[in-house]
């Protein structure tokens, strides 16, 4: 077949990037552009309404608390219902809550409780969205190409984060943060419309089970029976908590008091996005044999941003360490997704993913809520140094788990994968179902 006779869609994307994968990637780019600016906008909306660091922490905690409450239910539902419908419903809730938040901020004088309620609604949507989205992504690629596909997906997502964070910081510096929240609401609407076109016909129908509790028990048995899985999730329950406190609460405060406001903080977050982009490019080519060992060693640099904020380093120095941590977390993120995709059966992906997300974010609401009081008690610098030390300690501890050091990448001979979702799923199933994010886990 000559190049002129190849359909345009085949020439624009590799064979393994089927329709579902392309739609998921496009939707992730759109929401990435909106969400990364909105996270900055929410913090500065609280500060501009007269709030302090404790109030910023409460609003951040209100967003993450529903993740802890609803994630397991969301995972069980996503393995029962068509995953794309769960994703679209969650996007609709996010759209409405962010639009209401934007209206309150633009109208002037939003109340703390109002901002907490609306961010809690957004967090509820994410609790149902995340397990469904991760299961959907896992089923859209083949085992042999999984690592490259996940790297490209994350590269696209984090490329959007670069623009989203930088644009969000610039918009907040020039106008009301409510406009950034309005953009985020519109992004959820567009992304939800794209996800409505996902095809789930290739996913085998689940046999009727014994109910929601039975599904949750089955997911728990799958989760707890794998030491590498629960040990890294336990590690990230601490890592995500302290990184969340540093970036959601202390980072905006340091930016306001030491760096000049929202614009330099948005720039620093954008360099993190550049780092994740470079990390994804690296993982498009590098296929470490010991997946989890390589990934876990790259968690240590996540302590650098907290240490940089504790000093604090000038914007150039902070941006440099944010870049390094971005590269590092992407190595972990792609390795983790590949390990999950390789080891977890497809029909249990959303439930196992829910336990993964649940454990990883379980301590985040508490950490963001107490960040302000801890700052008052020991000082901001000491609190940030504590964040850095905790990351190093728990990451060192998880390296004592043999499965973390020894789990290796499987090499499976598979037939070429067609662009359609059915062929992609068949190859992935033949490869025995090869795992995120936070969105990567933190990305």
User: For residues 83 and 350, what is the distance between their CA atoms, to the nearest angstrom?
Assistant: 9
Q: What is the DSSP string of 166-215?
A: HHHHHHHHHS-HHHHHHHHHHHHHHHHHHHTT---TTSPPPPP-S-HHHH
Q: Are 87 and 140 in contact (CB under 8 A)?
A: no
What per-residue confidence (pLDDT) applies to 149? 80
Residue 76 pLDDT: 81
Alpha carbon distance 168, 41 (integer Å): 7
pLDDT at 412 (0 to 100): 52
pTM, entire model: 0.69
3-state SS assignment for residue 286 = coil
CA distance 443 to 430: 29
Task: Tell me the HSE value of 416 on the side-chain side, using a 13 A CA sphere.
Answer: 4
User: pLDDT tens digits, the chain, 443 residues: what are they?
Assistant: 444 444 444 445 565 567 788 888 888 888 888 887 787 788 888 887 777 777 887 887 788 778 778 878 888 887 777 788 888 999 999 999 999 999 988 888 788 888 889 889 988 988 888 888 877 887 777 656 677 788 888 778 777 777 777 777 777 777 788 888 888 899 999 999 999 888 777 666 655 556 777 777 888 888 888 899 999 999 999 999 999 888 878 888 888 888 877 778 878 887 887 888 888 888 888 888 888 999 999 999 999 999 999 888 888 899 999 999 999 998 998 888 888 888 888 777 778 877 887 888 778 778 877 888 888 888 888 899 999 999 999 999 999 999 999 888 876 543 333 333 322 232 232 222 222 333 334 43
- Return the structure tokens found at 232: 């890294």
Provide DSSP, 120-149.
HHHHHHHHHHHHHHHHHHHTTS-STTHHHH
Residue entry with tokens 């640099």: 301
pLDDT of the residue at 342: 83
Instruction: Say which DSSP state 348 is in.
Output: G
pLDDT computed for residue 402 by the predictor: 92
CA dist., res. 250 & res. 189, Å (int): 31
């Amino acid at each position: 077949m000559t190049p002129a006779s190849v359909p345009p869609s085949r020439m624009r994307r590799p064979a393994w990037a089927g329709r579902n994968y392309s739609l998921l990637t496009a939707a992730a780019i759109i929401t990435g552009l909106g969400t990364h600016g909105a996270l900055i906008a929410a913090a500065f909306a609280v500060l501009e309404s007269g709030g302090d660091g404790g109030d910023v922490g409460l609003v951040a905690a209100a967003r993450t608390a529903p993740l802890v409450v609803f994630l397991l239910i969301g995972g069980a539902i996503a393995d029962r219902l068509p995953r794309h419908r769960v994703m679209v419903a969650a996007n609709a809730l996010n759209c409405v809550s962010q639009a209401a938040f934007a209206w309150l901020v633009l109208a002037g004088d939003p109340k703390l409780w109002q901002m907490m309620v609306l961010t809690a609604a957004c967090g509820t949507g994410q609790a149902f969205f995340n397990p469904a989205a991760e299961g959907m992504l896992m089923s859209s690629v083949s085992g042999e190409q999984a690592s490259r596909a996940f790297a490209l997906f994350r590269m696209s997502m984090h490329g959007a984060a670069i623009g989203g964070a930088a644009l969000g910081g610039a918009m907040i510096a020039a106008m009301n943060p409510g406009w950034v929240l309005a953009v985020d609401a519109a992004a959820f609407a567009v992304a939800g419309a794209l996800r409505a076109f996902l095809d789930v016909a290739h996913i085998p129908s689940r046999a009727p089970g014994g109910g929601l509790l039975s599904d949750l028990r089955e997911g728990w048995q799958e989760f707890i029976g794998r030491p590498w899985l629960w040990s890294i999730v336990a590690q990230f329950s601490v890592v995500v908590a302290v990184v969340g406190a540093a970036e959601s609460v202390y980072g905006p405060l340091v930016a306001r008091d030491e760096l000049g406001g929202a614009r330099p903080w948005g720039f620093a977050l954008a360099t993190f996005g550049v780092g994740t982009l470079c990390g994804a490019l690296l993982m498009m080519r590098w296929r470490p044999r010991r997946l989890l060992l390589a990934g876990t060693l790259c968690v240590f640099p996540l302590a650098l941003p907290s240490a940089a904020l504790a000093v604090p380093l000038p914007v150039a120095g902070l941006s440099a360490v944010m870049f390094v941590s971005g590269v590092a977390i992407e190595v972990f993120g792609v390795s983790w997704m590949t390990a999950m995709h390789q080891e977890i059966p497809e029909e249990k992906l959303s439930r196992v993913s829910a336990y993964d997300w649940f454990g990883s974010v379980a301590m985040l609401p508490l950490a963001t809520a107490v960040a302000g009081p801890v700052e008052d008690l020991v000082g901001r610098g000491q609190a940030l140094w504590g964040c850095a030390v905790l990351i190093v300690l728990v990451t060192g501890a998880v390296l004592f788990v043999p499965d973390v050091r020894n789990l290796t990448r499987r090499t499976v001979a598979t037939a070429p994968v067609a662009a359609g979702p059915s062929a992609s799923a068949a190859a992935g199933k033949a490869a025995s179902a090869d795992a995120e994010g936070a969105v990567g886990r933190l990305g």
